[in-house]
Structure 1
Amino acid sequence: MLTGKQKRYLRKEAHHLQPIFQVGKGGITPNMVKQIQAALEARELIKVSILQNVEESHQEVAETLSARTGAELVQLIGRTIILYKESKNKKEIELP
C-alpha cells in the first residue's frame, strides 16, 4: 500500500509519460493483463488510456486492472490510469 507522499511522487514521475496501453470495447483481456504485467516489470510505472467505447465505468476498469496485474493504482484522472508495481529484477524508482 502506497502512502500519500509516495503517490504524489509517482504522479510527478508519471507526468511526462505517454499511455502505452488502451482499454477499448473488448475490455480487459487476459492477453492485455500479461502484456501490462511485463511492461510493469520493465518500467515499474505506466499509464493506461481508457477509450470512450468502454462499457464499464472508469473506476471499475482501473480497479480491475490493478487487481489482475497486482499493481498499485496511483491515480485515475479522466480516462488515464497510472499504475505502479515494484520490479523484482530491475528496480529503478526509489520511493520516499
Structure 2
Amino acid sequence: MLTGKQKRFLRSEAHHLDPIFQVGKGGVNEAMLVQIEEALEKRELVKISILQNNEDDKHEVAEKLAKGTKAELVQLIGHTVVLYKQSVNNKKIELPVKR
C-alpha cells in the first residue's frame, strides 16, 4: 500500500509519460493484462488511456487493471490511469521512505 507522499511522488514522475496502452471497446482482457504486467516489470510506472468508445465505468476499468496486474493504482485523472508496480529485476524508481 502506497502512502500519500509516495503517490504524489509517483504522480510527478508519471507526469511526462505518454500512455503506452489503450483500453477500447473490448474492455480489459487477459492478453492486455499480461502485456501491461510485462511493461510494469520493465518500467515500474505506466500510463494507460481509456478510449471514449469504452462502455465500462472508468473507475471499474482502473480497478480491473490494478487487480489484474497486481499493481498499485496511483491516479485516475480524466480517462488516464497511472499504475505502479515495483520491478523484481529492473528497479529504477526509489520511493520516498514510509514514516
TM-score clears 0.5:
yes
SS in 1 for 2:89: coil
Separation in structure 2 between the aligned mates of residue 37 and residue 26 of structure 1, nearest angstrom: 19
Secondary structure of 2:18's aligned partner: coil
TM-score for the superposition, normalised by structure 2: 0.96
In the alignment, structure 1 residue 39 sits paired with structure 2 residue 39: yes
* Identical counterparts, % of pairs: 68
Q: How many equivalent residue pairs?
A: 96
- The amino acid that maps onto 1:3 is T
Moved over 4 A (4+): none
Secondary structure of the residue that 1:94 maps to in structure 2? coil
Any idea what the Cα deviations from partners look like across 1:27-65, whole Å, max 9, x if unmatched?
011110000000000000000000001111000000010
Tell me the SS of whatever aligns to 1:74: strand
Matching of residues 21-36 of structure 1 within 5 Å: 21-36=21-36
1:94 aligned partner: 94
